[in-house]
Homo-oligomer: A and B are copies of this chain.
Amino acid sequence: MKNHAHKLDIELQNNPAYVRRQSDSMDISSGNNDVSNFVTKDDFLVTSTLILDAKYGRNMDFRKEHVKSYLFYNKWHQRALLYFSLFVNLTLGIFEKPAVPNFELPVWATMFIEVLCLLFFIFRIIHTAHVEKMENLWLDRKYILVVIIILLTILDMFGYIIWIVIAPGTNAVRWSRPLRPFLCVNFPEGRQVRQAFRNIRRSMPEVVNIFILFTLTLCLFSLLALKLYSSKNLYFPDGTPYFQYYMDAIWQLYVLVTTANNPDVMMPAYDYSNWWALFFVAVIIVLLYTFMSIVLAAIYNSYRDNLKKEVKNVIYTKRRKLTEAFEILQEKNDDHYVIKKPCWMELMKYVVPKRSDKQHELLLHVLDEDNKSCVKKTQFLYLADLLLLPLTEVKDRMTLLEKHLPGLYNSRVSCILKTIVKHRFFRWFFDSLIFINAWIIGFGIKDADWFFLSIFFLEILFKLYTFGGFKFFKQFWNIFDFFVVNGALILTTYNYMENEVKNDSYVLDLFLVMRVLRLFRTFASIKRFRVVIMTIVSIAPSISTYGAVLLVFYYFYAIIGMEIFHGLIRFHGYNMTFTELNNYSFCGNAKLKDSNFYYDHYCSNNFNDILKSFVILFELTVVNQWHVLTSGFVLVTHPAARLYFLTFHICCVVVVLNIFTAFILEAFVLEYTLSKESKLESVLERTLKQFGTGVTENSDKSVASDDNESDVEIIPDKFSSVKGLQFHVKKRNQKTMHVMLQEMFEKEIEIETF
């Protein structure tokens, strides 16, 4: 029993601090009269930290002797500071040269900010080294990468300073800047994004094989095209020769596989002889429809495999932490090791200090299978999930008015009002109003806006009055409504105060957006769409992970792109006189004369600042016309610039977007499978339902506007002592992917192995 505590005993026997701490714990224990004397305050600190780690899914293997340092490490302000520094470090891209217009800061200022960020990163890494076990630290790829990036950045900064001191006026390059986003990935806090990267890395071997085969086939088709068409002396409409050089042929056919130059690349040959269409059809069928589908299939396949592994890993970590915690506190009871009630009550004060004793007792009852006032290990492993369930006392659920003005709130008029608001006709009335509003906005009648705004505002007020803020803001569509209507109200008022409607004010545009966004609410009132929308909403948090992955790539390529292409293409407008054209030439670069790039008015698509770079990279991600964008930058630099665009296409479109599609596929199939098997419950949910006899379904449909969205509330009334408490178990389709996956695989992992 208490192996760990014993080890601590031996290690710290002669440490005066230990004696003091032990006596502290003695004080507490004597205050509670029944906590075992063997358990020190440090033990409680360690166990509570382990439990909280399990609850929040942290997997750092901290040193037990540095538990206080670890607690500080996990404090919200420390993490907030880290996120803030990472964010500031990234936003430097806006202020550094080439900066967004009007945002440029001098070099010393950005360097100073960067140094501050770096100092915090170094502090954080040292802190990590202090709390995490050393052997983990040197094996863990993420820490090594962080250290390398920091070292490279310092090296780069010194090099840069020396450069501008020695040779002022020349163009010094801060080459470490593209590495910045990888810091976000490799700090332990970027777990989700790192997982996505790991997914990508693991599916690479198979994809690479297919891609090599694809490249070889592409080269052969290009050779074929070259042999067939080079002798025919054909030309593209813009006068460039048709399949005359091998590298050019490969490029053209690769662009064809991305569909971006279809059917243009075929037209000269097709005009020459109609049968040549067959060649291009063959290329598209073989390379696009077959190979690219198989790339997606390979990625999807390995994604599914990895997903299972990752989720199981998370569950393993959680259980390992809880097992560790249990083994520190366990006491022998008959044949089993258990945690007894006094110890439990003390532990809970560390884990959830804000909850009352009554709530602690309830938690114990839930995990206490045999009613012996103690928790067995198998039950203890559910603690992390149990702690994640919101547990509120019934009095919490009263609205503010009910609490403070019960007389008024429960008066007859008020009751009639509440009945009206709760009635479904109330909902139908406002739904139909929104439809009318839609027509009025569509026909551009602006005078009715005040009427609709005030009526929707009233609706929100009534609902708030009836259901109270807590219930009201639990529903997605209510929150949406609240922000849109209030936003519109504020903007309209602002507009009215300004009195004159400026035609080009951003406020007016925003106000228009708000007006139209209100209409989206209508979709939620149509039942058949609600399933689709809720699927999208529940997938959304995980989608953002892939957004972050894309952002990492975007930042990396944006910085590189700015270094290479900055200032070469500029937007000067298109309606120019002849002299203006001579001054600014074409997109500010004479080489673009007669190019498709200029003809298509793409001058704004350039790398002149980081935001513009993001936009052009997004356009490249969407694929269409990417070859025209590329051709512009090739014209102003060198054909090798194609490599930049090619690698970006492969990274972001072929790999990341396919992983994203794989994710959506799996998420949808999962959602669909699980929503059918409504009986699939987590172990904990089943236990809770057996436990609480008073299970109520939240059925205020007028607020929920959907019975699917309502929670199951479990009011435990088995023990009179804990009356007035409620667990809120979320319904299936309000859970995120992440939680659902864990519940799915939970049963596959044997508890007994721990």
Chain B, Cβ-Cβ closest to A605 = B263
Contact status A669-B300, CB under 8 Å: yes
CB contacts under 8 Å to B, within A530-576, are: 531-533, 535-536, 543, 571, 573-574
A297 at the interface (CB under 8 A from B): yes
Q: Which residues of B contact A529 (CB under 8 A)?
A: 209, 212-213
Contact flag A294-B536 (CB < 8 Å), given A220-B520, A281-B618, A301-B669: yes
Chain B, Cβ-Cβ closest to A601 = B237
A264 at the interface (CB under 8 A from B): yes
Option from B293, B571, B619 in Cβ contact (under 8 Å) with A664: B293
Could you tell me the dominant secondary structure of chain A's interface residues?
A: helix
Chain B, Cβ-Cβ closest to A669 = B301
Q: Which residues of B contact A512 (CB under 8 A)?
A: 224, 227-228
Contact status A574-B237, CB under 8 Å: yes
Chain B, Cβ-Cβ closest to A267 = B601
Task: Pick from A19-27, A114-122, A621-629 the stretch touching chain B.
Answer: A621-629
Contact flag A264-B600 (CB < 8 Å), given A213-B532, A533-B213: yes
Option from B227, B271, B442 in Cβ contact (under 8 Å) with A571: B271
Q: Bound complex: CA of A612 vs CA of B277, how far in Å?
A: 10
Q: Bound complex: CA of A608 vs CA of B573, how far in Å?
A: 41
Q: Which residues of B contact A281 (CB under 8 A)?
A: 615, 618
Q: Which residues of B contact A601 (CB under 8 A)?
A: 237, 264, 267-268, 271
Chain B, Cβ-Cβ closest to A442 = B223
Chain B, Cβ-Cβ closest to A286 = B536
Contact status A220-B290, CB under 8 Å: no
Q: Which residues of B contact A81 (CB under 8 A)?
A: none
A672 at the interface (CB under 8 A from B): yes
A298 at the interface (CB under 8 A from B): yes
Q: Among A259, A275, A441, A665, find the residue whose CB has the most chain B CB atoms closer than 10 A.
A: A665
A192 at the interface (CB under 8 A from B): no
A674 at the interface (CB under 8 A from B): no
A351 at the interface (CB under 8 A from B): no
Contact flag A602-B523 (CB < 8 Å), given A227-B512, A294-B668: no
A513 at the interface (CB under 8 A from B): yes
Contact status B213-A262, CB under 8 Å: no
Option from B213, B231, B441 in Cβ contact (under 8 Å) with A523: B213
Contact status A294-B262, CB under 8 Å: no
Kindly supply a per-residue 1/0 record for chain A positions 602-615, scoring 1 wherever the CB is within 8 Å of any chain B CB and 0 otherwise.
Answer: 11110000011001
Q: Bound complex: CA of A512 vs CA of B288, how far in Å?
A: 23
Contact status B624-A259, CB under 8 Å: yes
Contact status B532-A294, CB under 8 Å: yes
**Minimum distance in angstroms from A481 CB to a CB of chain B:** 16
Chain B, Cβ-Cβ closest to A302 = B672
A504 at the interface (CB under 8 A from B): yes
Contact status A232-B504, CB under 8 Å: yes
Contact status B618-A523, CB under 8 Å: no
A754 at the interface (CB under 8 A from B): no
Q: Among A444, A515, A661, find the residue whose CB has the most chain B CB atoms closer than 10 A.
A: A661
A336 at the interface (CB under 8 A from B): no
Q: Bound complex: CA of A746 vs CA of B572, how far in Å?
A: 69
**Minimum distance in angstroms from A597 CB to a CB of chain B:** 11
A509 at the interface (CB under 8 A from B): yes
Option from B271, B619, B664 in Cβ contact (under 8 Å) with A294: B664
A599 at the interface (CB under 8 A from B): yes
**Minimum distance in angstroms from A293 CB to a CB of chain B:** 4
Q: Which residues of B contact A216 (CB under 8 A)?
A: 523
Q: Which residues of B contact A520 (CB under 8 A)?
A: 217, 220
A453 at the interface (CB under 8 A from B): no
Q: Which residues of B contact A444 (CB under 8 A)?
A: 227
Q: Bound complex: CA of A619 vs CA of B288, how far in Å?
A: 13
**Minimum distance in angstroms from A57 CB to a CB of chain B:** 26
Option from B270, B289, B599, B672 in Cβ contact (under 8 Å) with A615: B270
Q: Bound complex: CA of A624 vs CA of B304, how far in Å?
A: 31
Contact flag A624-B262 (CB < 8 Å), given A231-B503, A599-B237: yes
Q: Among A288, A301, A506, A605, find the residue whose CB has the most chain B CB atoms closer than 10 A.
A: A301
Q: Which residues of B contact A306 (CB under 8 A)?
A: none
A-B contact pairs, 16 of them (CB 8 A): A210-B532, A217-B523, A228-B512, A228-B513, A260-B624, A262-B622, A262-B624, A263-B605, A267-B602, A267-B604, A274-B611, A277-B618, A294-B664, A296-B665, A301-B668, A301-B669
Beyond known contacts A294-B532, A304-B669: 19 more, CB 8 A cutoff? A209-B528, A209-B532, A227-B441, A227-B512, A260-B624, A262-B624, A263-B619, A263-B622, A263-B624, A264-B600, A271-B571, A271-B573, A271-B603, A284-B618, A289-B660, A293-B665, A294-B536, A297-B665, A300-B665
